[in-house]
Structure 1
């Protein structure tokens, strides 16, 4: 996952519903409803109907630690996501010790399903971690200091800590689902760049224990009999060993004693693997280089959903080199999964703005969704909501009007707006048959994308409101913070109804 900064309600059952209750109990006692045969899945379809929006359609990733989400209420963030048409979000948990409960609850209050998206192979922050965390780290062929702490799935301490922490996370916070992205080993091209691991003592000890090899393959010296390109038997065991390590890690965290599913029987689970357009051998090369085998991972973990994450050699391409149809080139990954798991729901993840040269607009993202559906991929997401090109291209547009009280009007926009611009003379004008009346600045407040008018002078009946001057807020963007703000279209008029009932 690229960070641009560096990537129930209880039910009461009566006698007539005992059979349905039995099915529900069976469901919760199994690791995942995906383990059911089709006929059994149909029997519990009504139980899972409320989860549909979390498994299908467009969704978006949210990283609340970005400035765009600061100095505004959680309710306004949720409202903005609603105004942009999303029914599901993937909350990027950068650090399991820093989670915004109010934001999760605000999303759920608006009917938005919330996934906890956690990283499997490391963390951008070790604040609040146990003192022994340095002993969990992978060893790479070439050490790097890039702000990301990489942890080894061969570290029993890390595996148990991660399992305990994620179980605690789903118990304490009302997430609808949890997904472990990037559980893999680094890295595509790592044998050449040196960003390849784990090759340290943790991996060596595990390899000896599981496969009986005293040495791991040599990746530097072609003269060594155990050089990875020479000793193919050793190297193949090493490849299989790494795949097993990734999948065993995930299985333990999700399905192990004291893990996620034991903590929350009702929670949805998604697994993630990479996908890359690197020719016909892409599936095999990812297995070799990063320990990723999607079909084997699904068999091990039994998730409700599997996501294909766009790999960095693809998402870093310039916009003109990456049309939304690029995911057609991931068909080999889909085929690999479908050959073993024909019914597992699939999703795909894209990047819409982690670099300035590959910003994507709404049309691009909508087209990506159409391509995904044509491939039998039911859901799609992107990193990260406020990084999209639309943030830098679009002027504010009012998208919803509410009137909870006679003297209060709430106007929602598709992006956050500047309060000072809303309070300029003539920004908000009540239109009547005879005249226009300007709303005084002291009667106007702004919270993120939401503008509130509170005045006893508002007409009791339906009225029209002319909106001028209002701009967005470049200082809260990730790029182009010093850019000129976009101004709402001149002579924008909305209709304000009577008090909502």
Structure 2
């Protein structure tokens, strides 16, 4: 998934994804591999709650990429069963207002998934769209250094943007019956970029004016510059509160919208995991106060997304998620009843750099089994189509 590795890496990945979607020896520790964990539930799928349908292994699927490969519904189902996939995340990265769209959600694929007891979540992006939109300029995020590609970023500080997403979710649920809805990348970019390439936001006039008035009480004053905010420790601390409050509010509003239409539809919040990081740093750089989100929002599931700094490591071991224990321990302490999920990227790095060792089926299987044997309720991976194009799947 998207992330900040370096400027050159971003340009390569963004160019490919934007073009593709514009119409829009690792062994398992346990014998038997993929079927060792959570493969004995014979409950009729119709009798399961949506939360029960969302337990175990899952994978992200970009529908446009899926259709472009010519994979039939039957072939998709066979692949998913082979990998012991319990449900999928349909991942929509382009602009879509939530209306009925048979080109985006083809009936024959949805029917095949339902007939085979494989649940479908809808995954959207919280902070951006790939490609251009016609949203007001005032909704946009502003960065210290402009992003290099045609990705449209929007700010959680803007109430009108948040309200548009709320109405979008309600429209979606009037047209589709998904197991759950989630907004990945609901954060402010980006990890430590304030010190490096400047892909840090939101520093727009709108955001700084709102902060100056509401968090500093300076109603009649000109908005502070970001330099003034950053260079005053007390003000910068309040700025971090301002950012994390906005992300918590976005999650809360989306959950409320979902439950107002269909209380049985699940809502998942997304956070971020990074090795050798800390909760404080994640909060500072992403605006993600993950403890507050699980405690105050109480999502049905909370996913820890693997940061680009980790999935972009060519030597990444499949048990790297154990290094996220500092996050897991804190979240379980804050909200022990919120199930946790973990997301990895099995395809992007080797897709764009063929010299990199591929994360093959054994790697992925080890990741999945490690997650479930270490207390995660579920796991997911990016992305089905990129993986298949590299000739990869579980054996």
TM-score (norm 1): 0.63
Deviation at 1:101, TM superposition (A): 4.2
Deviation at 1:75, TM superposition (A): 4.7
Which of 131, 145, 165 is 1:125 aligned to? 131
Deviation at 1:167, TM superposition (A): 1.4
Secondary structure of the structure 2 residue equivalent to 1:262:
helix
Distance (whole Å) between structure 2 residues aligned to residue 307 and residue 251 of structure 1: 16
1:365-396 superposed Cα distances (whole Å, 9 cap, x missing partner): 111122213331121110002333894257xx
Quickly say closer, same or farther: Cα 1:105–1:67, change in 2 above 3 A.
closer
Secondary structure of the structure 2 residue equivalent to 1:66:
helix
Deviation at 1:285, TM superposition (A): 0.6
Secondary structure of the structure 2 residue equivalent to 1:206:
helix
Quickly say closer, same or farther: Cα 1:145–1:48, change in 2 above 3 A.
farther
- Give 1:6's aligned residue: 17
1:261-303 superposed Cα distances (whole Å, 9 cap, x missing partner): 2122110111100110134xx2111100110011111233221
Distance (whole Å) between structure 1 residues aligned to residue 71 and residue 275 of structure 2: 40
Matches within 5 A, 1:26-425: 49-66=48-65, 69-95=68-94, 96-97=96-97, 99-102=104-107, 103-126=109-132, 129=133, 131-191=134-194, 192-211=196-215, 212-213=217-218, 214=221, 220=227, 226=228, 228=230, 230-255=231-256, 259-279=257-277, 282-318=278-314, 321-356=315-350, 357=356, 359-388=358-387, 391-392=390-391
Distance (whole Å) between structure 1 residues aligned to residue 222 and residue 294 of structure 2: 30
Distance (whole Å) between structure 1 residues aligned to residue 74 and residue 183 of structure 2: 27
Deviation at 1:81, TM superposition (A): 2.4
The higher relative CO (CA closer than 8 Å, separation ≥ 6) is in 2
Distance (whole Å) between structure 1 residues aligned to residue 260 and residue 284 of structure 2: 32
Secondary structure of the structure 1 residue equivalent to 2:391:
helix
How many residues were matched structurally? Answer: 342
| Preserved contact between residue 101 and residue 173 of structure 1 (Cα < 8 Å) | no
After TM superposition, the runs of 4+ consecutive aligned structure 1 residues lying more than 4 A away are: 67-70, 213-220
1:51-94 superposed Cα distances (whole Å, 9 cap, x missing partner): 35433211111011116654354454344323432121011012
Secondary structure of the structure 1 residue equivalent to 2:131:
coil
Unaligned 5+ runs, structure 2: 3-12, 19-44, 351-355
Secondary structure of the structure 1 residue equivalent to 2:85:
coil
Unaligned 5+ runs, structure 1: 8-45, 221-225, 395-413, 416-501
Distance (whole Å) between structure 2 residues aligned to residue 162 and residue 108 of structure 1: 27
| Preserved contact between residue 94 and residue 123 of structure 1 (Cα < 8 Å) | yes
Quickly say closer, same or farther: Cα 1:53–1:388, change in 2 above 3 A.
farther
Distance (whole Å) between structure 2 residues aligned to residue 104 and residue 210 of structure 1: 46
Distance (whole Å) between structure 1 residues aligned to residue 292 and residue 69 of structure 2: 41
TM-score (norm 2): 0.79
Instruction: Say which one has the larger Rg.
Output: 1
| Preserved contact between residue 168 and residue 263 of structure 1 (Cα < 8 Å) | no
